[in-house]
Amino acid sequence: MKKKSSIGINELYQKYPEEADKLLWGRESNKNSRRGFLKKGALMFMGSILGGKVVFGEHMPANLIPAGIFDLQDGPIQGKHPGLLVLNDRPVNAETPAHLLDDFQTPADVLFVRNNGIPPQNINPQSWTLSIEGESVNQKKTYTLEELKSRFQHYSYHLTLECGGNGRSEFNPPAKGNQWTTGAVGCPKWTGVRLKDVLNDVGIKSDAVYIGYYGKDTHLSGDPDKVVISRGVPISKAMEDESLIAWAINDEELPLMNGNPLRLVFGGWPASTSGKWLSKIVVRNKVHDGPKMTGYSYRVPCKPVAPGAKVPEEEMCIIESMPVKSLITYPKSGGMLKLGRELQIRGKAWAGDLLVKKLQVSIDFGKTWQDAKLNPPPNRLSWQSWEAKVKFPEKGYFEVWAKATDSMGISQPMIVPGWNPRGYLNNACHRIAIRVT
Ligand SMILES: Nc1nc2c(c(=O)[nH]1)N[C@H]1C(S)=C(S)[C@@H](COP(=O)(O)O)O[C@H]1N2
Ligand SMILES: [Mo]
């Protein structure tokens, strides 16, 4: 059975109406009764939640959810925006519709969630520790969260976090896994300490080639000894200025679902490298080999293959920097516009370790392109905002397409690129529908 705390109020009422009433109203009711027999105390308690006396409370049927409760809810996922699209609820996976990514700094409650296991319960930041160990450290060292915050300088960076499988739903033949459309991406401001400062404080050996992370989430099987996911990055990426051990998003503590109280953030690389609920980092003298680091996980064929091809394991390569990509975040797809009026368009563009140097839009399915105004990023590895104005020549159905080009001159493809067995790295152009009337 599902944990009740992990389901929404509607589902709770459908599955456990009596218990739900008890939870909400503070005492038991009878399925067919009204709430009239509830004690005054329960009604007053409910009133305090709803912001006023429930005037005709005694007439309200039992097992009916007060409508005002919905306004108080933060959606089906703890601490997250109700507009997220839930792809899976065990483990929790939810993506962000493009129009909710219009802020330059992605709000914490809007950032997508990709869990491979079950987030830890009852987190106590006071007793949280991070250990640095592995064959390539001189000596294991453990820091409390407080020590990390007090002993090292704090840095904030806008860092783009994108799941390697973002866009997977478009591959054909289909790839198994979360069927992300466009929303497994975001770019909040992250605050923490530099991973390199901590690694230098511990002292790493000259044979170090990779780091790997371990988090406090638990395996879906319930086996406490089974590691959910343990990935990492080469030591060169770990030692970059922007590689953070972070405890804050947009100056607030991390949402539980995004790794509270501590996580890694490697901007521009598959977000699977950014370990959540971080409790241990290992410094390795070889490529890290934790769960989901090997085999077909987060790897693509080293050389392009035909769609549906069987690829031997040894011909799969680890994904590093993510490819150039963009989103149209305003307007929302499906809007209408009066003929003759100009349409304001806005969006974001990012390119892994690189800069985006050009953003173009098209209203004729890519036949012609018009340059958008592209803004510089506030720091390396941040996405960039862009805006454009377009005019439509006549009434009818149009699509607006956006195409970004990186500093190496590589552009987004207009259709789904490079099929691969697990459906990673789809950076095809984003498009929205507009009806001109
Ligand atoms: N401990 C832990 N870290 C993790 C994961 C996880 O399941 N457990 N998922 C990874 C994957 S695959 C992605 S895409 C990102 C998602 O980060 P977010 O949920 O904060 O958006 O976290 C990564 N870090
Ligand atoms: Mo991911």
For residue 6, pLDDT beyond 50:
no
Note the pLDDT of residue 34. Answer: 59
For residues 30-44, average pLDDT:
61
Q: What single-letter DSSP state applies at residue 48?
A: H
Among the candidates 297, 318, 339, a domain finishes at 318
Q: How close is the Cα of 163 to the center of ligand 1, in Å? A: 8
**Domain limits at 195?**
85-318
| CA 425 to the chain's CA centroid | 15
179 within domain boundaries: yes
For residues 42-67, average pLDDT:
71
For residues 126-142, average pLDDT:
97
Note the pLDDT of residue 259. Answer: 98
Name the residue of 78, 218, 229, 280 whose CB sits within 8 Å of the most ligand 1 atoms, as the mutation to test its pocket: 229
The answer on 161 and 309 residing in a single domain is: yes
For residue 3, pLDDT beyond 50:
no
The answer on 58 and 18 residing in a single domain is: yes
**3-class state of residue 357 by DSSP:** strand
Neighbours of 183 (CB within 10 A): 24
Ligand 1 neighbourhood includes 277 CB (under 6 angstroms): yes
For residue 29, pLDDT beyond 70:
no
For residues 393-405, average pLDDT:
96
For residue 129, pLDDT beyond 50:
yes
Are 263 and 275 contacting, i.e. CB atoms less than 8 angstroms apart?
yes
pTM for this model (two decimals): 0.85
96 within domain boundaries: yes
The answer on 272 and 200 residing in a single domain is: yes
Give percent above pLDDT 70 in the chain: 87
For residues 11-38, average pLDDT:
62
The answer on 131 and 278 residing in a single domain is: yes
For residues 348-374, average pLDDT:
97
314 within domain boundaries: yes
Ligand 1 neighbourhood includes 111 CB (under 6 angstroms): yes
Q: Across the chain, what does the average pLDDT equal?
A: 91
Token pair 């987004």 in the structure block, residue? 412
The answer on 156 and 56 residing in a single domain is: no
User: Which ligand 1 atom is nearest residue 216's CA?
Assistant: 1
Q: What is the pLDDT of residues 77-100, one digit of tens each?
A: 889 999 999 999 899 999 999 999
Ligand 1 neighbourhood includes 171 CB (under 6 angstroms): no
Among the candidates 298, 318, 338, a domain finishes at 318
Q: How close is the Cα of 44 to the center of ligand 2, in Å? A: 45
Q: How close is the Cα of 425 to the center of ligand 2, in Å? A: 11
Q: What single-letter DSSP state applies at residue 296?
A: T
353 within domain boundaries: no
User: Which ligand 1 atom is nearest residue 186's CA?
Assistant: 21
User: Going by DSSP bridges, is the β-strand pair 299-301/316-318 parallel, antiparallel, or unpaired?
Assistant: antiparallel
The answer on 170 and 134 residing in a single domain is: yes
d(CA 69, CA 245): 37
The answer on 50 and 89 residing in a single domain is: no
The answer on 119 and 26 residing in a single domain is: no
Question: 291: domain CATH number?
Answer: 3.90.420.10
User: Which ligand 1 atom is nearest residue 255's CA?
Assistant: 20
388 within domain boundaries: no
For residues 378-404, average pLDDT:
97
Note the pLDDT of residue 2. Answer: 31
Q: How many domains does the chain have?
A: 2
Q: What is the pLDDT of residues 280-335, one digit of tens each?
A: 999 999 999 999 999 999 999 999 999 999 999 999 999 999 999 999 999 999 99
Ligand 1 neighbourhood includes 96 CB (under 6 angstroms): no
User: Which ligand 1 atom is nearest residue 259's CA?
Assistant: 20
Residue with CA closest to ligand 1 atom 12: 272
Cis amide bond preceding 120, omega within 30? no
Q: How close is the Cα of 246 to the center of ligand 1, in Å? A: 14
Q: Which residues of 410-424 are buried (b: 16+ CB within 10 A; e: fewer)?
A: eebeeebbbbbbbbb
Q: How close is the Cα of 76 to the center of ligand 2, in Å? A: 21
Candidates 347, 322, 324; CA nearest to 98 is: 347
19 within domain boundaries: yes
Note the pLDDT of residue 186. Answer: 98
Residue 82 token pair: 């109700």
Give percent above pLDDT 90 in the chain: 81
- The alpha-carbon radius of gyration of the chain (Å, integer) is 24
Residue 155 backbone zone (phi > 0: left; psi -120 to 50: alpha; other: beta):
beta
**3-class state of residue 37 by DSSP:** helix
The answer on 286 and 211 residing in a single domain is: yes
